[in-house]
Amino acid sequence: MGKVKSWYPGHMVATQKIIRELSPYLTAFIELVDARAPELTRHGPMGTWVGKTPRIVVLNKAELADQTITDAWMRWYRAQGVGAVALTATHPKADRVLRTAITERVSAPYRLAVVGLPNLGKSTLLNRMVGKNRVATGAKPGITRGPQWIRLDGGWEWLDLPGVVTPSRSKDWRLKVLGVVPVAPDEMEDLAEKAWTRMHPNACGEPEAWVEWGRQRGFLTSGAAVDLHRTAQAVLIGVRDGQFGRHSWEVPPDGL
Ligand SMILES: Nc1nc2c(ncn2[C@@H]2O[C@H](COP(=O)(O)OP(=O)(O)OP(=O)(O)O)[C@@H](O)[C@H]2O)c(=O)[nH]1
Ligand SMILES: [Mg+2]
């Protein structure tokens, strides 16, 4: 648990300063959230950091979310007067979808900065916009360590930034399941059980169903008992990769 508590590295403090200082010079902020839990993964204090500069909310990893719930979120953002678009940064068409969403809302010159919590796909989206792998990405939070300006076609300029976290919110277990906050080894089994139960509502009353899944996969110790740690790891990877189907972890405040 200690590791998680001290999880607010210096580069995140530096990022806040950059966002505040650059805000007047930018056309818009591209605010990344996870389509499976958009408001939970939306950075609260960002609103005050960006000032009057427009924000476009991008609900990324949409292919992992429940489509009906994502549609409800899109209606909710529209009702709030917030420009939002749902996409999948790993999909080849994502750049076209995003360019359209941006040009419909703000005009040239396009000087953009991508902001949001860690591990949401900010750098993946940039690579998609450039059409090649220009910046590092990875399946754990904290890959991007410093700001990086990249030029895109059409004279667009795009600033990739490290993810920032809201320490007060980082205790929510769903942020750990979504990969935004690192998971300490001693909490992995508890998280896997919670995640599994949420994703398999029909297995209600069978709290050990995730353990049985591990047994079937052959995750056994030398004594032929189920290796709970390995099973928990596999469950969390399965959630990350959509192995258990599409699932949303948060519904809009006004319901579906
Ligand atoms: N399934 C899915 N995975 C995605 C998508 N976009 C990004 N990822 C994955 O999410 C992980 C994090 O991506 P990054 O682009 O490094 O995330 P980031 O927001 O730049 O993270 P930090 O630099 O740590 O703040 C990687 O494993 C990506 O492959 C998506 O649309 N769908
Ligand atoms: Mg990054």
Please list the pLDDT of the chain residue by residue as tens digits (256 residues): 334 444 556 777 788 889 999 999 999 999 999 999 999 999 888 888 888 999 999 999 999 999 999 999 999 999 999 999 999 999 999 999 999 999 999 999 999 999 999 999 999 999 999 999 999 999 988 888 888 999 999 999 999 999 887 766 778 999 999 999 999 999 999 999 999 999 987 766 666 899 999 999 999 999 989 999 999 999 999 999 999 999 999 999 998 8
| Reported pTM | 0.93
Residue 201 Cα, ligand 2 centroid: separation in angstroms?
34
**Residue 123 beta carbon below 6 angstroms from any ligand 1 atom:** yes
Nearest CA to 85 among 163, 46, 157, 32?
32
Burial class (CB in 10 A: 0-12, 13-18, 19+), 222: exposed
- In sequence order, what E strands does the chain have? 28-34, 55-60, 83-86, 111-115, 148-151, 157-160
**Residue 53 beta carbon below 6 angstroms from any ligand 1 atom:** no
Burial class (CB in 10 A: 0-12, 13-18, 19+), 40: middle
Contacts of 23 (CB under 8 A, 6+ apart): 29, 49, 50, 51, 52, 53
Domains and CATH numbers, the chain: 2-160 (3.40.50.300), 173-241 (no CATH)
Closest C-alpha residue for ligand 1 atom 13: 121
